[in-house]
């Protein structure tokens, strides 16, 4: 074996070792992050029991709609099912932060409010929540945007964005508000 051959074989071996070390490091990183995620789910995951969602807890029918606490926090609670939202008509104030809390009972649904950034998926067993502010008063359509079955196209609700004074005149602390005709 000539010297130059020995040198090139040594170099090849060195590089092979470096490549193996890099692959080993990447695999180890995947294993560690995978185990980390599996043992610590993201902190904002909230679950709800689909079997009792209608009969107890936060999403019973009498608790759905818009509420305002005495300190002025506005929360909208809603449930999606094939093929409607409850409530069908949602009242919110313009220019005030509004927190949505929603879930689904049968299939994956979702909604978007008109051209606003209010947009989420509703997955059975999980509570979807986000806070947004509607800048302008007016009426918005709120369609379901996840294909959920044959009635998907017909699944939508209305959102009435009221001027804040009008909303505050209607909202009594602790009461559930909606614009569903009675
Ligand atoms: Cu519900 Cu599509």
Q: 175: pLDDT confidence band, cut at 50, 70 and 90?
A: confident
Q: How far is the CA of 120 from the centre of ligand 1 (A)?
A: 12
pLDDT of residue 181: 78
Ligand 1 atom with the smallest distance to the CA of 147 is 2
Per residue in 97-147, pLDDT tens? 999 999 999 999 999 999 899 999 999 999 999 999 999 999 999 999 999
In this predicted structure, the answer to whether residue 44 has a pLDDT above a threshold of 80 is no
How far apart are the C-alpha atoms of 23 and 36, rounded to whole Å?
A: 20
Mean pLDDT value of segment 152-159: 96
Tell me the sheet residues that pair with 129: 101
Give the position, in ligand 1's atom list, of the atom nearest the Cα of 82: 1
C-alpha of residue 88 to centroid of ligand 1, in Å: 13
Strand partners, 157: 142
- pLDDT tens per residue, range 52-111: 998 999 999 999 999 998 888 999 999 999 999 999 999 999 999 999 999 999 999 999
- Cα–Cα dist 47/56, whole Å: 14
58 lines ligand 1 (CB under 6 A): no
Q: pTM of this prediction? A: 0.76
In this predicted structure, the answer to whether residue 171 has a pLDDT above a threshold of 90 is no
For the CA of 153, the closest atom of ligand 1 is 2
- 144 within ligand 1 shell (Cβ under 6 A): yes
Q: Which residues have a Cβ under 8 Å from the Cβ of 81 and sit 6 or more positions away? A: 104, 105, 106, 109
Task: Give the residue, by CA position, lying nearest to ligand 1 atom 1.
Answer: 109
Q: What is the pLDDT of residue 41?
A: 61
Helix then strand then coil, in percent of the chain rounded to 5, is 30, 35, 35
pLDDT at 49 over 80: yes
In ligand 1, the atom with minimum distance to the C-alpha of 83 is: 1
User: Stretch 159-181: mean pLDDT, rounded?
Assistant: 90
Pairing mode of beta strands 74-81, 97-104: parallel
Dihedral sign of CA atoms 93, 95, 97, 100 in order: positive
Q: Is the CB of 146 under 6 A from ligand 1?
A: yes
Model confidence at 43: pLDDT above 80: no
pLDDT for 9 beyond 90? yes
- The pLDDT value given to residue 42: 63
CA of 145 from ligand 1 middle (Å) equals 6
């Amino acid at each position: 074996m000539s010297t130059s051959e020995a040198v090139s074989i040594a170099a090849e071996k060195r590089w092979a070792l470096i490549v193996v070390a890099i692959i080993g490091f990447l695999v180890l990183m995947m294993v560690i992050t995978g185990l980390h995620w599996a043992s610590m789910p993201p902190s904002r995951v909230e679950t709800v029991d689909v079997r009792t969602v209608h009969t107890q807890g936060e999403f019973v029918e009498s608790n759905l709609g818009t509420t305002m606490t005495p300190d002025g926090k506005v929360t909208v609670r809603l449930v999606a099912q094939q093929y409607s939202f409850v409530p069908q008509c949602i009242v919110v104030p313009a220019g005030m932060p509004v927190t949505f809390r929603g879930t689904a009972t049968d299939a994956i649904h979702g909604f978007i409010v008109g051209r606003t950034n209010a947009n989420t998926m509703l997955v059975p067993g999980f509570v979807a929540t986000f806070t947004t502010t509607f800048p302008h008063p007016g009426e918005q359509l709120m369609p379901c945007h996840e294909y959920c079955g044959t009635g998907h196209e017909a699944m939508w609700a209305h959102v009435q964005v009221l001027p804040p004074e009008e909303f505050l005149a209607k909202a009594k602390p602790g009461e559930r508000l909606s614009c569903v005709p009675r």
